[in-house]
Amino acid sequence: MLDRFYRYIAKPMLFRLDAEAVHHMILTILSHTPSMAPWPDPPALNLNLWGIGFSNPIGLAAGMDKDAVAVHAWHSLGFGFAELGTVTPRPQPGNPGPRLFRLQDRGALINRLGFPGEGMEAVAQRLTRLRRARVPIRLGINLGPNKDTPPEAVAADYGALMNRLGGSADFIVINVSSPNTPGLRNWQSPERMREIYAALTGARTTTRPPILIKLAPDLERTELLKICDTAVELGFDGIVATNTTLRRKELGIKTDYEGGLSGRPLLELVRGIIADIYCHTGGRIPIVGVGGIGSAEDAYGHIRAGASMVELYTGLIYEGPGLVAAIKVGLAGLLRRDGFGSISEAIGTAARS
Ligand SMILES: Cc1cc2nc3c(=O)[nH]c(=O)nc-3n(C[C@H](O)[C@H](O)[C@H](O)COP(=O)(O)O)c2cc1C
């Protein structure tokens, strides 16, 4: 019902309007919508990671709710967790517009937003209010430096963000992979990861949440695997694979829009990266798989390739708000079909065979 309304009525109207204007409109509506309890998740979808219970492994990817304005809505839609952010230390406007584009025939988006946001103080205050309201959804917070932070102060930005927000998060994601902040992807190197990790673990938080690192899909394979080794060695708690891509030709995309590409064309690329990381690390570090998910089969494929949990963004724009519930029902059916009693049993089973 919700699916049909979205596909035949809402989407055709929304897709006539500017993509970023629609984004803000929907977020405003969601932030004012009363909270509703979703259907309870089937026990087969429950999982435990880092000692934290998740009622299902489907999460909202970073970028949708940068300033934590609609957290209760992500719970109502049935997500098991939401990754908020990217949050920067100070507020910033992001890049000049237009900066978000649809490639409709490919089920894709291109964005070059550049972390627009209200900054960590506003987000911290909002999260404190939410904690008082006890919104029952697991929260990741994705951290990034300000655009005008000089390279020698980037690690300190991550430290400051951890200080202010670490206590409000179930897990933290270090974003070193957005293509829209100049120089940021250079931080995906073993030496610089050490610097960031030292800044994060030196932060004065009362509790230290699990720390994940989010990687780009454009790393050369040996470089990617070296970075994963460093993540394991330093003690990172997980890898988010992946952010948006700068690739075009290899994916058969013809467009002049600059920025990070997301959505359906990423699916196979990301699936291969998840499997590579899983096989290389022997499953020693949990992977959160993100890229191209638009159905239960897509989510299941990422999990079977080695992801412990998955996230989505662009699929939600193309398939609508019923997608999360549809994925959960489908996923439970796929687990049953293949004789798995739980998500944990299915993780990495395609990568190993
Ligand atoms: C409009 C837009 C904004 C995004 N902003 C962020 C961001 O601030 N931080 C981040 O780590 N990833 C960001 N992403 C990347 C997504 O979190 C995700 O990694 C990527 O879109 C692939 O997933 P998808 O194919 O399901 O969209 C953004 C993606 C989109 C489409």
Written as one string, the DSSP assignment of 82-139 is EEEEEE-SS-B--SPSP-EEEEGGGTEEEE-----B--HHHHHHHHHHHHHHT--SEE
- Which residues lie below 8 Å from residue 105, measured CB to CB, with a gap of 6+? none
Contact of 110 with 87, CB cutoff 8 Å = no
The residue whose CA has the least distance to atom 14 of ligand 1 is 63
Contact of 200 with 237, CB cutoff 8 Å = no
Q: What is the pLDDT of residues 184-195, one digit of tens each?
A: 999 889 899 999
Residues with active-site annotation: 178
The residue whose CA has the least distance to atom 7 of ligand 1 is 63
- Among 292, 260, 290, which residue's Cα sits nearest to residue 277? 290
The residue whose CA has the least distance to atom 23 of ligand 1 is 291
**Ligand 1 mean position, distance from CA 99 (Å):** 13
pLDDT score, position 3:
84
In angstroms, rounded to a whole number, what is the distance separating the alpha carbons of residues 193 and 179? 17
pLDDT score, position 352:
66
In angstroms, rounded to a whole number, what is the distance separating the alpha carbons of residues 88 and 142? 9
Average pLDDT, rounded, for the chain: 95
pLDDT score, position 1:
74
**Ligand 1 mean position, distance from CA 353 (Å):** 30
The residue whose CA has the least distance to atom 18 of ligand 1 is 243
**Ligand 1 mean position, distance from CA 336 (Å):** 31
The number of the ligand 1 atom at minimal distance from the alpha carbon of 109 is: 31
**Does residue 132 register a pLDDT over 90?**
no
∠208-212-213 over CA atoms, to 5°? Answer: 135
In this prediction, residues 74-86 reach a mean pLDDT of: 97
**Ligand 1 mean position, distance from CA 52 (Å):** 24
Sheet with strand 100-103: strands edge to edge: 100-103, 108-111, 260-263
Residue tagged 């191209």 (tokens): 292
Contact of 270 with 289, CB cutoff 8 Å = yes
**Ligand 1 mean position, distance from CA 312 (Å):** 8
The number of the ligand 1 atom at minimal distance from the alpha carbon of 292 is: 25
Q: What is the pLDDT of residues 45-70, one digit of tens each?
A: 999 999 999 999 999 999 999 999 99
The domain defined by 2-352 folds into TIM Barrel (3.20.20)
pLDDT score, position 308:
98
Pocket test for ligand 1, best of 22, 115, 313, 319 (most atoms within 8 A of CB): 313
Pocket test for ligand 1, best of 215, 262, 287 (most atoms within 8 A of CB): 262
pLDDT score, position 188:
87
**Ligand 1 mean position, distance from CA 61 (Å):** 6
In angstroms, rounded to a whole number, what is the distance separating the alpha carbons of residues 80 and 49? 12
In angstroms, rounded to a whole number, what is the distance separating the alpha carbons of residues 343 and 46? 7
pLDDT score, position 134:
80
In angstroms, rounded to a whole number, what is the distance separating the alpha carbons of residues 63 and 266? 17
The residue whose CA has the least distance to atom 10 of ligand 1 is 62
**Residue-range domain boundaries for the chain:** 2-352
The residue whose CA has the least distance to atom 12 of ligand 1 is 62
Per the structure block, which two tokens stand in for 273? 């990266």
Output the ligand 1 site: residues, CB below 6 A.
61-63, 66, 86, 100, 109, 111, 113, 115, 142, 175, 178, 214, 243-244, 262-263, 266, 290-293, 312-315
DSSP element (H, E) containing 52? strand 52-54
Residue tagged 């517009």 (tokens): 97
In angstroms, rounded to a whole number, what is the distance separating the alpha carbons of residues 238 and 247? 25
Residue 335 Cα distances to 117, 192, 243, 312, 349, angstroms: 39, 40, 27, 20, 12
pLDDT score, position 88:
98
Phi, psi of 154, rounded to the nearest 5 degrees? -65, -45
Per the structure block, which two tokens stand in for 86? 């990217």
Q: What is the pLDDT of residues 87-116, one digit of tens each?
A: 999 999 999 999 999 999 999 999 999 999
Pairing of strands 287-290, 309-312: parallel
Q: What is the pLDDT of residues 206-242, one digit of tens each?
A: 778 999 999 999 999 999 999 999 999 999 999 999 9
Contact of 167 with 204, CB cutoff 8 Å = no
In angstroms, rounded to a whole number, what is the distance separating the alpha carbons of residues 153 and 147? 11
Residue 204 binned pLDDT confidence (cut-offs 50, 70, 90): confident
**Ligand 1 mean position, distance from CA 32 (Å):** 23
Q: What is the pLDDT of residues 292-340, one digit of tens each?
A: 999 999 999 999 999 999 999 999 999 999 999 999 999 999 999 999 9
pLDDT score, position 333:
98
The residue whose CA has the least distance to atom 2 of ligand 1 is 63
Residue 353 binned pLDDT confidence (cut-offs 50, 70, 90): low
In this prediction, residues 268-281 reach a mean pLDDT of: 98
The number of the ligand 1 atom at minimal distance from the alpha carbon of 243 is: 19
What percent of the chain clears pLDDT 90, i.e. is strictly above it? Answer: 89
